[in-house]
Amino acid sequence: MEKKRYERPTLRKMNTGLMNKFGTKTENEPLTHIESVAVKGLLKEYGSPLFVLSERQIRRNIRNASRIFNTRYPKVQFAWSYKTNYMDAVCRTFHQEGSWAEVVSGFEYDKALNNGVPGHQIIFNGPDKTDEQLVLAARNNSLIHIDHYDELYSLIRLSNEHKLNPKVAIRVNMDTGIYPKWDRFGFNFENGQAWNALTRIVSSERLELVGLHCHIGTFMLSPNAYATAARNLCELAWSVKERYGKMVHYLDLGGGFPSTNTLKGAYLPGTDTVPSLDQFADAITDVILGYGFRPEELPLLILETGRALIDDAGYLLGTVLATKRLSDGRRATILDFGINSLFTSFWYEHKVSPAQPLGQQTEETVLYGPLCMNIDVVRESIVMPLLEKGNQVVVHQVGAYNMTQWMQFITLRPAIVLIDEENKTHLIRKAETTEYINSQELLPTHLN
């Protein structure tokens, strides 16, 4: 039998407010393997810290979401939200599963083309599209979602100049009962702006109105908000049909479904409180099916789900650099990754597991990153076994918005590995090197 490790006893100060009626949650179950690949081996081979993605989980998520919507509605199309995670290996997995691409910049648009997505399966969203990008998107028959009047007028001018007939939709913002409202994007529903924009599109000779779009927020916890959004889009579609005699091809309800991460300050873990995808699907499809369209004119339902399809497929692996006592007696653990890699630690209480079995004893600790900055906190308070220098940890549910919002601040960004369906590992993004960062810099001759 292995010799038990000695753990010195500690006196534990009880902070008022820390306990609630559910008691403190202890996260001491070790996670030694991801998809049966040893965490220890991954860190040894690819270095620490390290992002790991499970291809199996990504495919499971998109198949599950497709099933949920397709069993409720006859015509459904998912479009992968590039900004959520635009690693090519991730995007191509979604495209293999039948997803179109949803992009919000020229950079992302080019990425989608490079990933082999046909132009007509790229949805071009966002307030920032240059004239060149608009012309390219129009020539490729991409779906251009107009965000503001300046873009609408530019597109009309460019279409006349270049004799183009772009396929367009407008992004609609509205009051769905969720505040703050995201009314900085698109045309407002309640004040008539959206209808005004639609009228201009239909009466322009060249633009072809093909759809209506909204994206009401992110990490939305209210299925009812989607029912309101769907109803408003149906109302606009119905008005277009009545007034102009044509039915739009699609309604795009955007993204925004939550993952099961726990928001900061939440009383209960996300796994217990977040509505299921079925509830969102019921809310949306009940409204569209019940609105009164004839079966043959039912619009295609497009979903731009990001976060909910990738968060639980991603892990961040790392190593304990040091432990210390803060002046108030609290335990502190310093990890080799911080907010530079884990941007979402600003709003999530990420679940963190030790990557090896440790003792039974636990203590509340602060998890800090390695940056020389006071804001670099991974978890303000977590009850964990007594981690020591060299121990390894795994952060759960980090697949969304970390591998795109991470920042090269103070240190270099880590590598990303994909575990495929046969549990083989593939490096899909190399760790950054000093050389790579320096390659973008130039020195004026007088400083050389």
The binding site for ligand PLP (CB under 6 A) comprises 81, 83-84, 102, 104, 125, 215, 218, 254-257, 304-307
Residue that the structure tokens 């277009």 belong to: 240
d(CA 380, CA 182): 29
Distance (Å, whole) CA 2 – CA 340: 38
> Which residue lies nearer to ligand PLP by CB, 258 or 318?
258
Please state, in angstroms and rounded to a whole number, the distance separating the CA atoms of residues 13 and 11: 7
Contacts of 407 (CB under 8 A, 6+ apart): 340, 343
At its nearest, how many Å lie between ligand PLP and the CB of residue 56?
21
337 burial type by CB count under 10 A (0-12 exposed, 13-18 middle, 19+ buried)? buried
Q: CB-wise, 310 or 317, nearer to ligand PLP?
A: 310
The helix (run of H) or strand (run of E) holding residue 365 is strand 362-368
**Min dist. Cβ of residue 276 to ligand PLP (A):** 15
State which residue, 124 or 368, has the beta carbon closest to ligand PLP.
124
Smallest distance from ligand PLP to CB 225, Å: 13
- Amino acid identity at 231: R
Q: How far is CA 447 from the centre of its chain?
A: 42
CB of 22 to ligand PLP, least distance (A): 28
Contact 143, 122 (CB under 8 A): yes
249 within 8 A of 210, measured Cβ to Cβ: yes
Closest approach of ligand PLP to the CB of residue 231, in Å: 19
Q: Using CA atoms, how far apart are residues 277 and 65, in angstroms rounded to an integer?
A: 7
Considering the complex, state which of residue 307 and residue 350 has its C-beta at the smaller distance from ligand PLP: 307
Of 193 and 319, the one with the shorter C-beta distance to ligand PLP is 193
Residue whose CB is less far from ligand PLP, 207 or 310: 310
Q: From the CB of 175, what's the least distance to ligand PLP, in Å?
A: 18
Choice between 57 and 218, CB closer to ligand PLP: 218
Please give the Cα distance from 88 to 80 (Å, whole number): 12
- How far is residue 429's CA from residue 195's CA, in Å, rounded to a whole number? 45
Residue closer to ligand PLP by CB (options 81, 173) is 81
DSSP assignment letter at 149: H
d(C-alpha 288, C-alpha 298), whole Å: 8
Cβ closest to ligand PLP, residue 102 vs residue 336 = 102
Tell me the backbone φ, ψ of residue 211, rounded to 5 degrees.
-160, 180
Least distance to ligand PLP from the beta carbon of 126, Å? 7
Q: Output the smallest distance, CB 400 to ligand PLP, in A.
A: 6
- Judged by beta carbon, residue 143 or residue 415, the one nearer ligand PLP is 143
Reference 399, options 217, 215, 261; nearest CA is 261
Strand partners, 315: 52
* CB 183, min distance to ligand PLP, A: 14
Q: How near is the Cβ of 261 to ligand PLP at its closest, in Å? A: 12
At CA 248, angle to CA 243 and CA 254, rounded to 5? Answer: 125
Residue 256, CB-side half-sphere exposure with 13 Å CA sphere: 22
Q: Which of 181, 193, 134, 130 has its CA nearest to residue 160?
A: 134
123 vs 240, beta carbon nearer ligand PLP: 123
Tokens of 286: 């009940």
Residue that is written with structure tokens 């998520």 in the block:
61
CB of 310 to ligand PLP, least distance (A): 8
